[in-house]
Structure formats: structure tokens, C-alpha cells
Amino acid sequence: MIKVKKVIALILASAFLMSLLVTGCTTKGTAPSSPADQKSEPRELVVYSNRNEKFVQALLDKFSSDTGIKVVALHGANPLQIIEEANNVRADIFISNDLGSLGYLHLQGLLQESNPNGIETIPEFFRADDNAFFAISVRARGLIYNKDLITEEDMPKSVEDLFDPKWAEVENGYAITRGGNGGMLGHVSALRYQWGDEKTALWIAAIRSNSAGIYQGHGEIRRAVGAGEHTFGLVNNYYFHQQLLEPDNNNVGFIYLDQGDGQMGAVSNAAGVGLVKGGPNEAGAAAFLEWLLMPENQAAFVGESLELLINSQFSAAYPAETQPHIVDFNSLKIQDMPVKELGNYFEGTKELIQASGLDLDLK
């Protein structure tokens, strides 16, 4: 069993959609007008999130129910908003769908040190040296495939296999997301770290040319593969778990890439939280971090997303139908991309993808 070293892929989410939701103790409205307004309400917490709202809102409702602390939630927030508000800080917590965004904010000096109870449950390679941000759930990149169209033995086993134009000839072809998708951005960042820009640019050109479908998101890919519209697709592993729960079109398998000797390991990413520097509700933020690190709440953070828990001992949280397919993340061979590389690939990755045209493609 190959032990995980350090995983990270840099992404800065491209969407900048903002909405606020009231459910239970959670407040809906505009973002708070100023820190002073929030300091008058010590039992309040302001959370900015770029993670899918359906994966976050139930977690925030549970926090409010458990603690009595009211939450103002700004869903669809872009990390750039934290940068724009640096001189007028409004958020206490930033929840990110990838650890790379948190690393980028930390490099900009916008997250601050923390030492919450329970932080030792998160391995050191999944958190900043000063615990200003840390991951809770992880996922690995790989290929979902339709078992009616191809066998596991005939599937690509390495990301480098996709250089081969023969995969353009496979029945119904394969699917990828456009380059502006967060998962693809992170994947390209990881390849730049591993290969350098020249080889990575050639890989982008190959998949752009050889793929039969380029989609906006991974949910579209997993449904298309399940329906037999494509033989396989490049996605995060939890989309495979989600497709297994569909009432039909669920005869699918999944390949974790580059698991062999001498191979780089699967490209991985993680979702987590960061403590915003100078946030208006310091006590509420501290309470949230310690609450989140409780085992039951780490499982709640994963929720319906069906990502992999860093702490696999909490795997009873998964639906019974998917449990046989859930792997222990620590059993996978994962690309070694040090946490100190966070943020260093942000600008260059976006530029490389934009130059390729893949950020605009849909087909």
C-alpha cells in the first residue's frame, strides 16, 4: 500500500456567482456592510464559500443548530472577493472547493494562523504550516467508464495514455470539461508541476483534439458516460460515486490513474476552510473551526458530494450503495505536489489554458 505524501493542485475558481440563503438560523441578504456592523453581533459568523451550495448549506445549518451562532452565508463567492475586500474585511471563514485557492489567499497574506482543538486529526500535508487553512475532504482524478462499452482491461491507465490519438477512435469517444472548469485547472497545474509547460501544452492540445465531447461540468460527463453517449470521461472520483446512486445508467466503473511502478500517481485535490485575517467575528470563527474538526462534522462536510474523507475511519457516513466502491485515500498512489507549491501556478495555468483555447471550447 503506497502511502500518500503531499497532495495539492492549484485552482482559482472562475465563477463569481453570489447568492445568499436563509435556512433555519442562517441569514439571507446582502454581504455585511462593514466589519463594525458585524462586531455588534458577537454570536454571528460570516462565511464566504465557492463550494457547491447544496454541499455547504446543510453543514452551516447544523452548526447554527448545534451552537446557536447565526450564520450569514455568501455562496458562489470567488477567492478574488477576499482580495478585493482586504481593506474592509467582511468574511470570517472562506470555504473552498480546492486547497489551491486557500493556498493562494494565504500567499497574499489574507489568511491567519489558527490552532483549533482537533487540528491533529488532519495530516500535516493537508494543512498550512500555521494551520491558516486545512482540508477536510479529498478527491482524485481519474476516468469513469461505461462497462457496457469497454472493459477495465482495455481502458487507459495513465494520464499520458491520452496523448495517443487512438482514443479518438474508441466507440462514442471520450469526454472532458472545458479548460475553465476548476477541476481541469487544477489538473493542468499538477501536470505543469510534474512535466513543465511544454509537455503540458502538448497534452492540452491532444485532449482538445481527440475528445468527442467537451462539457461545462463533470456532472454532465458522468451522466453522458452512464447513458453510453461516451465510453469514458475524465472526472473526479466522486462523480463515479454519484453515478452509482442513479436509478439507471449506473453500470459504470472507475480508473484511478497512474498507479503503477514509476508512474506519477493520481492527480488529487482537496476541499477545506481558511481563517480570514481580521474577520469581524473572531470568536465565532474559532468556534466554527473547532466544531468542524469534530469527527461527525468532518463527515457532514463531505455530505452528498461523496468525496473521500481524509480520515477513512469515518466512512460509515457514505450511503450503503457506494461503500463497496469507497477506497481508503491513503491506499492510493498520489502525485507528490508539495503544499509549498500552492499559489505558484495560478497565473501561469490560466494563461496556458487560455492560449490553448480550451477555456472556451464546448462540443
How far apart are alpha carbons 126 and 133 in whole angstroms? Answer: 9
Left (φ > 0), alpha (ψ -120 to 50) or beta: where does 356 sit? alpha
Three cell numbers, residue 126:
493537508
pLDDT score of 19: 31
Three cell numbers, residue 39:
462586531
How far apart are alpha carbons 165 and 180 in whole angstroms? Answer: 23
Q: Specify the DSSP element, H or E, that contains 345.
A: none
How far apart are alpha carbons 133 and 144 in whole angstroms? Answer: 31
pTM metric for this prediction: 0.75
pLDDT score of 324: 62
C-beta of residue 187 within 8 angstroms of C-beta of residue 267: yes
How far apart are alpha carbons 240 and 237 in whole angstroms? Answer: 5
Instruction: Spell out the CATH class of 19-138+268-339.
Output: alpha beta
How far apart are alpha carbons 76 and 13 in whole angstroms? Answer: 10
Three cell numbers, residue 359:
477555456
Instruction: Enter the DSSP assignment of 175.
Output: E
Three cell numbers, residue 325:
466502491
C-beta of residue 290 within 8 angstroms of C-beta of residue 117: yes
How far apart are alpha carbons 132 and 286 in whole angstroms? Answer: 11
Q: Specify the DSSP element, H or E, that contains 286.
A: helix 282-292
263: exposed, middle or buried (Cβ count in 10 Å: 0-12, 13-18, 19+)? middle
31: helix, strand or coil: coil
Q: Specify the DSSP element, H or E, that contains 170.
A: none
pLDDT score of 62: 95
pLDDT score of 15: 31
Those residues whose C-beta lies under 8 Å from the C-beta of residue 255, and which sit 6 or more positions away, are: 142, 143, 145, 152, 155, 156, 157, 232
Strands 26-27 and 44-49: unpaired
- Tens-level pLDDT at each residue, the chain (363 residues): 333 333 333 333 333 222 322 333 344 434 444 444 444 444 899 999 998 898 899 999 999 999 999 999 999 998 889 999 999 999 999 999 878 789 889 989 999 999 999 999 898 888 999 999 999 988 899 999 999 999 999 999 999 999 999 999 999 999 999 987 878 888 998 999 999 999 999 999 999 999 999 999 899 999 999 999 999 999 999 999 899 989 999 999 999 999 999 999 999 888 899 999 999 999 999 999 999 999 889 888 987 777 887 765 655 555 666 666 777 777 899 998 865 565 678 778 888 998 888 887 788
pLDDT score of 318: 57
| Nearest C-alpha neighbor of 295 from the set 167, 144, 122, 43 | 122
pLDDT score of 124: 84
pLDDT score of 181: 82
Question: Could you check whether 19-138+268-339 and 140-267+345-356 share the same CATH topology?
Answer: yes
Domain layout of the chain by residue ranges: 19-138+268-339, 140-267+345-356
pLDDT score of 310: 76
CB neighbours (10 Å) of residue 41?
17
Instruction: Spell out the CATH class of 140-267+345-356.
Output: alpha beta
